[in-house]
Chains A and B, each alone.
Chain A
Amino acid sequence: MNELLKNLTEAVGVSGEEKEICRIIRDLIADHVDEWHVDTMGSLIALKKGTGASPLRVMVDAHMDEVGLMVTGFDSNGTLKFDTVGGFDDRTLLGKVVQVGPEKVIGVIGGRPVHLSTPVQRNSVVKVDAMRIDIGAKNEDAAKGKVKLGDRAAFVTAYEELGPTAVAKAFDNRAGCAALVELLRARPYPFDLYAAFTVQEEVGLRGAQAAAYGIDPDVSLVLECTPAYDLPNKNDVSPNVALGKGPSVYVMDAVTVQDPRLVRHILQTAVTHNIPYQIRQPGGGGTNAGAIQRTRRPIPVATIAVPGRYAHTPTMMINLDDYAHVVKLAQLTLQSLTTEIVKRN
């Protein structure tokens, strides 16, 4: 059992309320870094000093927030109105168990039983504003005694390993966080490495924007978990990355054209060390690379991601070999990163 992945995915940290996951990561890295602090927005920034061989300042980012819910109101019958934090398909929510607020009050997003629903109801999507979280409170006052307006709610999904794969909530992006923890536990790099476990990615790359401004790096690498879409498909159409085929390397998404020299360096590193890789399908989506690239001055950026099925639902699935390969590829990429690689002429 990968205890690191288990601990990080089972911890709670919905965008804007990342204190719990932040503390857990802090305790995991404190002995392996030279200094650390938490910035005003809540991102955990750690410095692992380099050997002095390279003058670069390198920022490695992994966002620690996860998508979730927020309590927005109380009904007289004691159920909770809520809204989503981050991107959701409403259909994934009904019937799921959630933990609400700092006290982790257990609730369920109630669904109408099939016995009591009409065929018309069963054929239409229930929108999030019609759903309620039921924490078993008998009325509004009882509910207010257990949770507060504005409390976040996260899914309750235990980490489990199924042969080569693992299922859990929040692999997006605790898989990236775990990889970054492993990078910090390894030997020093030729340069000063600033690890940024950032907040509020899921609501618009916000934590990384502030963190990049503060760190002012020369180069940045983002570690992510990207949606895999490798289920059976009858047409030969664009698939996204697949589980088990290695780290996915970004070239272009909706917010960033990744630095072509860094991308080349990553791919060459993979080939040299016999690490499988796949190009993440260019097009939509976005990572913190977009915020880091342009916040203070132009920065070369790249993103390496663990492919994950069922992103932004209560349960995701990754392949543990892919995860291990992401750690290895990121580490080797960084160890061999030089000023020449990112020089423009």
Chain B
Amino acid sequence: MNNLIKKLVEAYGPSGFEDQIRALIWPEIEKYADDISVDALGNLIAHKKGDGSGLKAMVAAHMDEIGVMITHITEEGFCRFTNIGGVYPHTLLGGRVQFADGRVGIIHSDRITDRSKIYGLDKHFIDVGATGRDDCPVQVGDAAGFHREFVANGKMLSAKSMDDRIGCVVAIEAMKRLKQTPHDVYFVFSVQEEIGTRGAEAAANHLDPDVGIALDVTLTGDVPEAIPMAVSLGKGTAIKVKDAGMIAHHGLVQLMKKRASEASIPYQLEVLTGGSTDARSIQIANGGAAAGCISIPCRYVHSQSETVHADDVENSIKLLVELLAKPIEL
């Protein structure tokens, strides 16, 4: 599975520009779907038919990653930029970004006169090796994702876009393992989550599911001076109860707990005080849907070394398969 993870996490795909990552996921799922389509926003939608006795379920894992967009090129050829999604200046110095054509740029900042301060994004620039505006190979409006190699330290897996390529991996593996399901399942590899769960919003408005399950990373409380949170790396998949954008459907949470216990899948209950997922959009689209989220605990979210545990990934896949293979009674 690490080969698949490496392939997906190193790919380019900032929000709104998911063509390349979509092209990588498509062949992975082709064999396991009854039909596949791409909607106008770029959501990749794989339909797995049920036996007619179940519900219409939407499973969402977002393909997009946070990134930057060029806003201005100085006369000397340095690129000023704005954020795509939650990009924080203290994660940037010396970092690298990649553009759609594979070109790599170095991020640095204007002269730092006060080391106790964090400078805003407007004080940072990307150096793409240009000597001036005229030979600068990138343009205003070009988007870039971060550039960082996948690393496996035993079972600790680190990469720039675990959020949420690891959710995509969970969806892909679940599709492979799900032999039969009573439900009409739409696996949506969604776009534009990092800028406001926009892809899932449009897809859910269109698909109108009964049940929505997002697959996404969540924070952990197991690092020095973390915000207290009862989720740790390696202690199981996380069943979301609440985050800043959603209270998960109570019946669905109960069912997830039940299915996990039945199959001896370790799980943790997640109450996240900030952030949200595609499930938020699915929950209130059209007439609403029973929405929940299977979360993969992740350290250092929105840095260039987001870190998950292989066992948690495996347990998340198992829970999703258990959930989809059996009746969903809410």
A interface residues, Cβ below 8 angstroms from B: 218, 236-239, 251-252, 255, 257, 259-260, 263, 279, 281-283, 293-300, 342, 344-345
- How far, in whole Å, are A257 and B43 apart by their CA atoms in the complex? 14
16 contacts between A and B (CB under 8 A): A218-B40, A239-B72, A255-B196, A257-B192, A279-B140, A281-B71, A282-B69, A283-B82, A293-B198, A293-B202, A294-B201, A297-B40, A297-B206, A298-B199, A298-B206, A344-B42
Most buried by B among A236, A257, A293, A300: A257
Does B222 count as interface, using CB distance less than 8 angstroms?
no
Q: Is the CB of B74 within 8 A of A236?
A: yes
Q: Report B142 CB to chain A, min CB distance, Å.
A: 9
Name the interface residues of B7-49: CB closer than 8 Å to any CB of A: 15-17, 19, 38-43
- How far, in whole Å, are A295 and B55 apart by their CA atoms in the complex? 24
Q: Which residue of B lies closest to A294 (CB)?
A: B202
From known contacts A298-B40, A298-B203, A344-B42, infer whether A251 and B72 are also in contact, taking CB-CB under 8 Å.
no
Q: Report A285 CB to chain B, min CB distance, Å.
A: 11
6 residue pairs, one from A and one from B, having the closest CB atoms: A257-B16, A238-B72, A251-B141, A298-B41, A298-B202, A297-B206
Which residues of chain B come closer than 8 Å to A344, judged between CB atoms? 38-40, 42
Q: Is the CB of A281 within 8 A of B39?
A: no
Q: Which residue of A lies closest to B139 (CB)?
A: A279
**What 0/1 readout, one digit per residue, does chain B (280-302) give for beta carbons within 8 Å of chain A?**
00000000000000000000000
Most buried by B among A260, A295, A300, A342: A260
| Interchain pairs with CB closer than 8 A, number | 81
- How far, in whole Å, are A345 and B42 apart by their CA atoms in the complex? 9
Which residues of chain B come closer than 8 Å to A251, judged between CB atoms? 69, 140-141
Size band of the interface chain B makes with A = 20 to 34
Q: Which residue of A lies closest to B72 (CB)?
A: A238
- How far, in whole Å, are A257 and B19 apart by their CA atoms in the complex? 14
Q: Which residue of B lies closest to A236 (CB)?
A: B74
Q: Is the CB of A236 within 8 A of B206?
A: no
- How far, in whole Å, are A257 and B40 apart by their CA atoms in the complex? 12
Known: A237-B80, A252-B82, A281-B72. 16 other contacts (CB 8 A): A218-B40, A238-B71, A252-B16, A259-B40, A260-B19, A282-B69, A282-B70, A282-B71, A282-B82, A283-B71, A294-B41, A294-B198, A294-B205, A295-B205, A299-B202, A344-B39
Q: Which residue of B lies closest to A218 (CB)?
A: B40
Q: Is the CB of B206 within 8 A of A300?
A: no
Task: Choose from A236, A238, A257, A297 the contact partner of B202 (Cβ within 8 Å).
Answer: A297
B interface residues, Cβ below 8 angstroms from A: 15-17, 19, 38-43, 69-72, 74-75, 80, 82, 84, 122, 139-141, 143, 192, 195-196, 198-199, 201-203, 205-206
Q: Is the CB of B41 within 8 A of A293?
A: yes
- How far, in whole Å, are A259 and B39 apart by their CA atoms in the complex? 12
Q: Which residue of B lies closest to A257 (CB)?
A: B16
- How far, in whole Å, are A303 and B84 apart by their CA atoms in the complex? 19
Which residues of chain B come closer than 8 Å to A257, judged between CB atoms? 15-17, 84, 192, 195
Which residues of chain B come closer than 8 Å to A282, judged between CB atoms? 69-71, 82, 140-141
- How far, in whole Å, are A260 and B16 apart by their CA atoms in the complex? 8
From known contacts A252-B16, A279-B139, infer whether A298 and B43 are also in contact, taking CB-CB under 8 Å.
yes
Which residues of chain A come closer than 8 Å to B38, judged between CB atoms? 344-345
- How far, in whole Å, are A175 and B198 apart by their CA atoms in the complex? 29
Q: Which residue of A lies closest to B22 (CB)?
A: A344
Which residues of chain A come closer than 8 Å to B71, judged between CB atoms? 238, 281-283
Which residues of chain B come closer than 8 Å to A218, judged between CB atoms? 40
Q: Which residue of A lies closest to B15 (CB)?
A: A257
Which residues of chain B come closer than 8 Å to A279, judged between CB atoms? 139-141
- How far, in whole Å, are A218 and B40 apart by their CA atoms in the complex? 9
Q: Which residue of B lies closest to A260 (CB)?
A: B17
From known contacts A281-B72, A293-B198, A295-B205, infer whether A238 and B80 are also in contact, taking CB-CB under 8 Å.
yes
Which residues of chain B come closer than 8 Å to A236, judged between CB atoms? 74-75
Q: Report A23 CB to chain B, min CB distance, Å.
A: 33
Which residues of chain A come closer than 8 Å to B40, judged between CB atoms? 218, 259, 297-300, 342, 344
- How far, in whole Å, are A299 and B41 apart by their CA atoms in the complex? 6
Q: Which residue of A lies closest to B37 (CB)?
A: A344
Q: Is the CB of B69 within 8 A of A252?
A: yes
Which residues of chain B come closer than 8 Å to A239, judged between CB atoms? 72
